[in-house]
A = this chain, B = another copy of it.
Amino acid sequence: MSDHVYKKVELVGSSPESIEKAIENALAKAAKTLNHMDWFEVLETRGHIVNGAVGHYQVVIKVGFRLDD
């Protein structure tokens, strides 16, 4: 990370299966427009309830990516 500059963007991914899958879905979407994604940080984990059970998980993450030199 010596001389690089990074930017962080905040995303919300969701999945009916798991917290990990919600993170993966957010990254997969971001990967279509961002290069050099380097790390993520989970800010919030929440979800929607349907019929008294988890409908889907919603995970708010920050993604850090390197700006082109």
Contacts and interface: CB of A to CB of B under 8 A. Distances in A.
How many residues of A sit at the interface, in one of the four size bands? 35 or more
- How many chain copies? 12
B63 A49 contact: yes
B42 A54 contact: no
30 contacts: A1-B14, A1-B48, A1-B58, A2-B14, A2-B16, A2-B55, A2-B56, A3-B15, A3-B25, A5-B11, A5-B29, A5-B30, A8-B10, A8-B11, A9-B10, A12-B64, A18-B18, A19-B19, A24-B53, A24-B54, A27-B49, A27-B53, A28-B53, A37-B49, A38-B49, A39-B47, A41-B46, A42-B45, A42-B46, A49-B63
